[in-house]
Amino acid sequence: MPARPAGQRAIIGAARQEFSEQGYGATSIRDIAQRAGVSLSALYYYYKGKQELLVAILDEGLDAYFDACDAALAGVGDDPAERLEALVSASVRFRTDHPVQSTIVLTEGRSLEPEHLERYRKNEERASQQFREVIERGVAEGIFLTPYPDDARRAVIAMCNAIAQWYRADGPVDVDELVERYVSLALVVVEYRPRTARRGARG
């Protein structure tokens, strides 16, 4: 994607902050222009209104999230536990690195108008499907023992998503430690049992 002009970047950044702090419904186009330091006519040159800005922010956030997940998955093999670890790691790092973007993606989809909502729902399903495929494969291979794979998937996604709402970079837990904790929690949720451990138990 080509770099946006400075004025357009300022508008997107201002809209992102306003939507995050005030919510989409409570934010006016004038608030965004004032925060960006541009005139209303300059804003309307790039975007027709709040809805176009929201769509641009959601698309940008989802594209960046999928890129992070794809890169993480490309670095591991076919083992379901490794792939689940990759997805959780990418999700945790994305939520901590981009809390404002994450919050908007997770909370403002409901503000989309019908012509944009269907595409957003498909992207939501794509994100969920990445976890579903990994967990179902782990269950099929007998290394994830949870009898409730759908509930496990929802639980893992929900705990990763919630990080954007509470994590602080100056808090007591750094990102690497948080990744380790959440990977461990995810493997507990799916009841991961390595093949070697199960062979040892049978012996």
pLDDT, residue 180, reads 97
CA distances to 30, 108, 110, 139 from 113, rounded to whole Å, are: 20, 11, 8, 38
Report whether pLDDT(198) > 90: no
Yes or no: say if 7 and 38 are a contact pair by the CB < 8 Å rule: yes
Task: Tell me the mean pLDDT in the region 140-150.
Answer: 97
pLDDT above 70: residue 118: yes
3-state secondary structure of 192: strand
Average pLDDT, the chain: 91
Over residues 166-170, mean pLDDT: 90
Residue type, 109: G
What is the CA angle 137-194-74, rounded to 5?
A: 50
Min mean pLDDT across 30-39, 73-82, 88-97, 163-172 is at 163-172
| pLDDT classification of 124: cutoffs 50, 70, 90 | confident
Instruction: Look up the pTM and report it.
Output: 0.87
The DSSP code for 3 is: P
197: confidence class by pLDDT, cuts 50, 70, 90: low
